[in-house]
Amino acid sequence: MTDIGIQSAATVNNARVDAQMENLRTTAGQVVGSVFYGTLLKELRQSSLKGELGHGGRGEDVFQAQLDQVFVEGIGKSTRFDLVDAIYNSFADRVQSNASAASTGGEA
């Protein structure tokens, strides 16, 4: 293989790893949002602290789950949560080691 072919293969591999890393961060955010914050919102909605002040009535009761899902998705997209970073870093090391092993022809 020529030097140009090796560089092209390395560039393609780096682009693939970058795409995997971005997908990993997005997925970690979604998992944290739905599992952790989704459960937290659900429990808060069921608490006895709910008052009449600020309550949206029957419409809020009907569409609360959908609103919570929108909140959870927004929280999951945010990258400023340590829990998301911890999950991402844990899996990122594995993805990068697998990618480096694949590029050298070895096994991780």
pTM: predicted TM-score of the whole model, two decimal places: 0.60
As a whole number of angstroms, the distance between CA 45 and CA 107 comes to: 48
Which residues fall within 8 angstroms of residue 26, CB to CB, at 6 or more apart? Answer: 77
- pLDDT tens, position by position, 76-107: 777 577 888 888 888 888 877 877 777 666 55
Domain borders along the chain are 3-104
pLDDT at 42: 84
- Of the candidates 90, 94, 100, 95, the one whose C-alpha atom is nearest the C-alpha of residue 28 is 90
